[in-house]
Amino acid sequence: DDDDDDEGGLRPLGWGGSKKDLYGGNDDDDDDDELPEDERAERLEAEEAMMLQRSHAARLRAEDFGKIDSAAAARAGSEDAALGRQLDAEMAELPHALRAKGGVRVEEVARDLSGLSEAELARAVQADAPELLTLLTDFQDTMREVRTRVAPVLSAARQRQLPLEGGLKFLE
């Protein structure tokens, strides 16, 4: 009944199967005129093969693949479980350091940063934790704001001997 669809690409009434078949024409084939005849033929053949594969795949049903033997599936499941238990036993025998690092042992050497210049410290921080430089910049901006806005208000409050209540107590 649907065999006619594969041969001519037309539906029983002669209409295309989708809007894409009716509208748009050769939108994606605009450069076909520039291709040599044999390349154009290969391209059309590949497109036709893909269309046939899609239509064939759309007609497939679960029954087409046959039934899986439930006894064979159970045997495969028990074999997988046995392999899993064996792997767990072998992993338990390994030293903890090897299990935690995926078999690779990494040694960290502590650096003495006390004698480094500011530029060398910045390079060390950039290498170890690059996000700290951004946090340092944010912290410096915040401290600058505290020094220029909050500190003058707090010193004025102290000079006038204002009672430290509410917001002034918070600033203290």
38-69, pLDDT tens digit by residue?
Answer: 888 899 999 999 999 988 888 877 666 666 55
Q: What is the pLDDT, as a whole number, of residue 111?
A: 75
Please report the DSSP string for 30-75 in residue order: GGGGGS-HHHHHHHHHHHHHHHHHHHHHHH--GGGG-PPPHHHHHH
| CA-based radius of gyration for the chain | 37
Q: What is the pLDDT, as a whole number, of residue 63?
A: 65
Q: What is the pLDDT, as a whole number, of residue 80?
A: 77
In single-letter form, the type of residue at position 16 comes to G
Taking 90 as the threshold, does the pLDDT of residue 8 lie above it? no
Same domain assignment for residues 33 and 13 = yes
Q: How far apart, in whole angstroms, are the C-alpha atoms of residue 24 and residue 50?
A: 19
Q: Kindly state whether residue 25 falls inside one of the protein's structural domains.
A: yes
Q: What is the mean pLDDT of residues 149-160?
A: 80
Phi, psi of 160 (to 5 degrees): -85, 0
Range of the domain at 145: 118-171
Same domain assignment for residues 24 and 43 = yes
Same domain assignment for residues 123 and 149 = yes
Same domain assignment for residues 10 and 42 = yes
Across the chain, mean pLDDT equals: 74
Q: Kindly state whether residue 52 falls inside one of the protein's structural domains.
A: yes
Same domain assignment for residues 167 and 134 = yes
Same domain assignment for residues 126 and 145 = yes
Q: What is the pLDDT, as a whole number, of residue 62?
A: 67
Same domain assignment for residues 13 and 52 = yes
Taking 60 as the threshold, does the pLDDT of residue 100 lie above it? no
Q: What is the pLDDT, as a whole number, of residue 61?
A: 75
Taking 90 as the threshold, does the pLDDT of residue 139 lie above it? yes
pTM: 0.30
3-state secondary structure of 135: helix
